[in-house]
Amino acid sequence: MRSSVRERVGQTIIVFLLALLCISVIYPFLYMLAVSLNVGSDAAKGGVYLWPREFTLYNYEVVLGNSVIQHAYLITISRTIVGTFVGLLITLLAAYGLSYRSLPFRKSLLGYVLITMLFSGGLIPLYIQLHHLSLLNSFWVYIIPSAFSAWNMFVMMKFIQGIPEALIESAEIDGANPVRILFVIIMPLSKPMLAAIGLFTAVGHWNDWFSGAFYVSDQSLIPVQTFLQQLLSAQDISTVLGSNNNQEALARGTMLSNVTLMSIKMATVMVSALPILCVYPFLQKYFVKGVLIGSVKG
Amino acid sequence: MIERLAKYRWQYVMILPGAILLLLFSYIPMVGIQVAFKDFHIGSTMWSSEWVGLENFSFLQDEQFWIVVKNTIYIAILKFVFGFPAPIMLALLINEVKNNKYKRFVQSVSYLPHFFSWIVVAYILQSLLTLDGGLVNQLIEKFGGDSVFFLGSTEWFRPMIVVSGLWKEVGWNTILYLAAITTIDPQLYEAARVEGAGRLAQIRNITLPGIMPTISIVLILSMPGLIAVGMDQIYPLMNPANQPVADVLDTYILRNGLQQGYFGMATAVGLLSSVISLILVLCTNQMARKFNGEGLW
């Protein structure tokens, strides 16, 4: 009897601690949401904690109506789609080719990949190389340099090697060439792995701000996260809105005085985070699976 | 031999694009390290610029550089000391929860921050900590304290980096431990209960030893990344006010190299940090061989 009381107390403490953790994750988003849905000048007085006090969608109208942000979104979406597709394809092709255990020079080729995981030239030599290849200030700087991932390649290769060889052999006897085998047999069997790695790649593209900040100087090429990074330390609203027809609209409206830098910032960051918040519940099982696949070799 | 190569021609064709990308973006930059010993300017090529010996390494006499080294090590150690045990403790806590729905809920929520960029996390910190209307300072003032400029203070920078790092990754890093816990034989727990072992005794004698191999693997794998303390995390939060403690090797390279154009010098700093992480990787592999009887490669 006594131990069961103790257990119940223990359970309560654990449940409480974990609830605190969950609140610490969820609350900042609720807070930012509330601030972004509040009239800026009112929110600046403080006291908005959970619920907007003077509700408005105006912050979002300004953010979503801004052509700089719209364009940054376009860049982010295109690079995520193209980058994920190209990255998965090139990495899968190499993983499949290297999964043949009897491939001549296989060991040397694996070593060739492995060395790049151990040592790198560093940021500056890479930058110089991007410059020589004329990739700086081009959309392709987001896609090409990161299209092959050594880490994902090893994970994929291990996974493919787990597929029964008898399947591949019987297809070979039927006269299928490796390309056909890859698309007809390997790919359908690798769906969970492709889903998981594809999601990680996509999230990586969505969240990358670095290449937009340093490999690109043309403002029309920056993705959303780089825009956010520039906005983070902005001191006044014009930095955000730029020389944009939005400003005219703002000037005409009486709302201008009600927008603050903070309320605009919160609306912008919510707009960039919402897609991930929305897809997260559906993709969660793949994320977990992905980590576990990745740790098979350990 | 040629026959065998021909037999595998498709495989080689498929490996080729990846191999070319590695050549272009990994191997040529390795050759590019020679820029560390050259007088390089954008516009010239790495071959055409002149050798200058160790001139680019004059940063070793720069006081600022050693502050940066100190900051890097400081932050790396702090992040490791707090960041390594935290997910183990969280996994043990989550594992103790009896209500399965709640358990799954906690897991889902704790993984979430991993999927947001450090930029978004920087905004969260700004929204909570800023002087004008930030939540934390509002509360401090309400309780009669003086507001603190967390984002621009040298004392608060390191705690801020450690806490935000924990917040973002602790849940995510529990995944492997939780998976390892599920592979422990439930009969062991039953036997322990029969012998009268309490919860804590069970954790100490069954769960912890059960996940020990996972702990050692995670420990080994975390070593190489140790000094890459995250431009991703630090750069967005760095400002002139906190720079004395915030400047780390990565940001130093970025500022002197890409922003001010001292390519040779920044490459030399990068070379040093690449060599250090290579040494960490090689030591790690030796450790892995000792622990597991098998290295990582």
Which of B30, B167, B267 has the CB atom closest to A124's CB atom? B267
A chain contacts of residue B6, beta-carbon cutoff 8 Å: none
Measured CA to CA, the distance from residue A146 to residue A290 in angstroms comes to 19
Nearest CA among A149, A139, A147 for reference residue A79 = A139
The CA distance from B233 to B16, in Å, is 35
Nearest to B254 by CA among A122, A208, A251, A231: A122
A265 Cβ under 8 Å from any chain B Cβ: yes
- The gap between the terminal CA atoms of chain A, to the nearest Å, is 44
Residues of chain A falling short of pLDDT 50: 1, 252, 297-298
**A157-169 as b/e, with b when 16 or more CB fall inside 10 Å?**
bbbbeeeeeeebe
Nearest-angstrom CA–CA distance, A208 and A92: 22
pLDDT digits (tens, 9 = 90+) for B227-277: 777 789 999 999 999 999 999 999 999 999 999 989 999 999 999 999 988
pLDDT in tens, B26-71: 999 999 999 999 988 877 777 888 888 888 998 999 899 999 999 9
Contacts of B108 in chain A (CB under 8 A): 281, 284
> Measured between CB atoms, which of B13, B93, B128 is closest to A28?
B128
Give the per-residue pLDDT at A240.
Answer: 63
pLDDT tens digits along A22-67: 999 999 999 999 999 998 888 877 778 888 888 988 889 888 888 8
Average pLDDT of the residues of chain B: 90
**Element at B141 (helix H, strand E):** helix B135-142
Contact A123 B253 (CB under 8 A): yes
Are A21 and B217 a contacting pair at CB < 8 A?
no
Instruction: Provide long-range contacts, Cβ within 8 A and 24+ apart, for A85-90.
Output: A86/A143, A86/A144, A86/A147, A87/A143, A87/A146, A87/A147, A87/A148, A87/A149, A87/A152, A87/A201, A88/A194, A88/A197, A88/A198, A88/A201, A90/A147, A90/A148, A90/B17, A90/B18, A90/B21
Task: Name the residue among B14, B94, B117 with its Cβ closest to that of A94.
Answer: B14
pLDDT score for B147:
85
- Facing residue for B126 by CB, picked from A144, A210, A232: A232
Chain B hits for A32, Cβ within 8 Å: 123-124, 127
What pLDDT does A249 receive?
Answer: 55
Q: What percent of chain B has pLDDT over 70?
A: 98
Q: Which residues contact A53 (CB under 8 A, 6 or more apart)?
A: A38, A42, A43, A47
Interface of A with B in 92-121 (CB under 8 A): 93-94, 96-98, 100, 103-104, 109, 112-114, 116, 118-121
Q: B38 in helix, strand or coil?
A: strand
Q: What is the pLDDT of residue B175?
A: 92
Q: What local confidence, expressed as pLDDT, does residue B173 receive?
A: 93
What's the confidence (pLDDT) of residue A251?
53
Between chain A and chain B, the number of residue pairs with CB atoms below 8 A apart is 253
Q: Which two tokens stand for residue B276?
A: 């250090």
Please tell me the distance from the alpha carbon of residue A151 to that of residue A117, in angstroms, as a whole number: 8
- The answer to whether A203 touches A277, Cβ cutoff 8 Å, is no
- What per-residue confidence (pLDDT) applies to A154? 93
Mean pLDDT of the B101-118 span? 94
Residue of A nearest to B109 (CA): A22
pLDDT at A298 (0 to 100): 40
Q: What is the pLDDT of residue B1?
A: 80
Is the pLDDT higher at B152 or at A113? A113
The answer to whether the beta carbons of residues A147 and A82 sit under 8 Å apart is no
Between CA A147 and CA A156, with CA A150 as vertex, the angle to 5 degrees is 95
ipTM, interface predicted TM-score of the complex = 0.90
Closest Cβ–Cβ partner in B5, B25, B97 for A18? B97
Q: Is A126 at the interface with chain B, CB within 8 A?
A: yes
Write down the pLDDT at residue B221.
81
